[in-house]
Amino acid sequence: MNNALGATTSAGPTVFVVYGASGDLAKRLVMPGFAALAAAGLLPEQWVLIGSGRRATPDDTYRQHVRDGLAEFARGKNGVTDEVIDSILPGLRFAGGGFTADDPGELLDAIAAAKDELGRDAQIVHYLALPPSTFEDYTKAIAAHGLAEGTRVVYEKPYGTSPESFEHLDQLVLSVFDEQQVFRIDHFLGKEATQQLHVIRFANRMIEQLWSNEHVAQVQIDVPEVLGVDDRATFYDETGATLDMLVTHLLQVAAEVALDPPADWTSDALAQAREDVLAKFRPLDPAEVVLGQGTGYREIKDVREGSTTDTFVAARVWVDTERWSGVPFVLRTGKKLAESHQHVTLVFKRPLNSPQKDDEAAPETLTFTLSGNGSLFAGVTARRPGVSDDLVPGKLYLDLAELPNAEPLPPYAALLRDVLIGDRALFTTSAGLRSAWQVAAPMLDHRPELHPYEPGSWGPVEAEEIAAPYGWLTERPRG
């Protein structure tokens, strides 16, 4: 990827260190992303990947672990074949013995050996595929063993679990690294379709002219999920829907929609535009937030007895800029809901002289789907063909995967690529995350009532009011 709108650059020799290499995150997302880069020919010509963990593990055993994980989660997707998997394995090493400020285990020796192989100038990328509670200790360990200078570091979300813990962690990280070295990952920003939001808007005058409160009545960002949390209950019970999705993904996507034109199309300018508009998001009013917990959640293994963790959140957000003043951004996400989709929808005001007189008729809309390769569809009104004067809803549809020579990367692969070449356009900044935490702070300090809902439903009925007067526009683009 990218330089905001597509200029590619290549990465030099790289030592890629994955902390938590035997864990679920590395198995399901990080290594499949790495394999997708290999399939696309986007890895550096020279690289070594070192898995770091507590147990002493021979390299061949680690390679088999990675092979098994890729066979389960990557093979047959994004060009990842058995041949691609086999091509990755020789570059893998493992450093056991853990990694702390007091004891580096085998990692320093493994890095030194990799640099002997690749050259002393090889860049180091640290990837913390670990629970957020470990970020502080590993950051201190990287500093203690002289592994910070000139390197890059990737932190998974959530980056902090409260405004206070964010500030504590961020101060530590920025005492060890420069901001330009830090990549706070948010895989929603890595989605091809999320990147299309600003491209389709600014590259098409007919769309850009409509992108303001003059024409838009409401913006919906809707990410319901049918899946539960059984496979990650320990992590999820410490975070919930608000921290896992709203503070990170949904507010970042909202900023992608709300940003003003960047100064230019460099990576830094695009990130700055997103950061600038996040600072204009109004802190949430707890009265405009609905929290829910699915029936049966507390019976899941590893969920704390009597847990008050939210598995659903819907919120109305206001953006205090000239462009968006008075337009509600309504956000919704939750577990075990009626269907899964990822939609960003602009709901337009009715034309002043519209022949459509029925106030209950479907509104005109423009919807971006963020899942898969992405698509764009417009909900419009047309006259029913024939002798009738009936006005009926219709759709104009564009499947982004059908564009010429489309070869989309999965989000983790796209973000890993950007880390390798040092492109920070799709990563959250310190200032941007601080703004997101400030938006969420009032509802975290004065937590709204937790409403129950049945699995397979659309969540608490109280959430319907958040999207009034249009309601949540849940219709699929096709079928």
Catalytic one of 65, 126, 198, 249: 249
**Euclidean distance between CA atoms 257 and 36, whole angstroms:** 28
Q: Give the Cα separation of 157 and 433 in Å (integer).
A: 11
231: left (phi over 0), alpha (psi -120 to 50) or beta: alpha
**Reduced to 3 states, what is the DSSP secondary structure of residue 67?**
helix
Q: In what order do the strands lie in the sheet with 152-155?
A: 92-95, 47-52, 14-19, 123-128, 152-155, 182-184
Angle subtended by helix axes 163-176 and 430-445, to nearest 10 = 160
Binding residues: 20-27, 54, 157, 187, 191, 225, 244, 335
- Tokens standing for residue 475: 């219709």
- Residue 373 region, left (φ>0) first, then alpha (ψ -120 to 50), else beta? alpha
Name residues whose C-beta falls within 8 Å of residue 334's C-beta, 6 or more positions apart in sequence: 224, 225, 241, 292, 294, 311, 312, 313, 314, 453, 459
Judged by DSSP in three states, 176 sits in helix
List strand residue ranges (DSSP E) for 105-259, in order: 123-128, 152-155, 182-184, 216-224
| Residue whose tokens read 């935490």 | 437
Q: How far is CA 41 from CA 84, 363, 396, 465, in A?
A: 10, 45, 35, 49
Residues in the annotated binding site for NADP(+): 20-27, 54, 157
Q: Measured between alpha carbons, how far is 76 from 82 in angstroms, rounded to an integer? A: 9
Beta strands in 129-283 (DSSP E): 152-155, 182-184, 216-224
Yes or no: say if 467 and 329 are a contact pair by the CB < 8 Å rule: no
Nearest to 288 by CA among 466, 441, 440, 446: 466
Q: Is 441 helix (H, G, I), strand (E, B) or coil?
A: helix
Residue 89 phi, psi dihedral angles, 5° rounding: -55, -40
Beta-ladder partners of 24: none
Contact 415, 125 (CB under 8 A): no
Give catalytic status of residue 65 as yes or no. no
- Closest listed residue to residue 31, CA positions, set 68, 58, 82, 83: 68
Binding site as annotated, residues for substrate: 187, 191, 225, 244, 335
DSSP-derived letter for residue 428 is: B
CA distances from 257 to 176, 273, 367 (A): 33, 11, 12
Residues with catalytic roles: 249
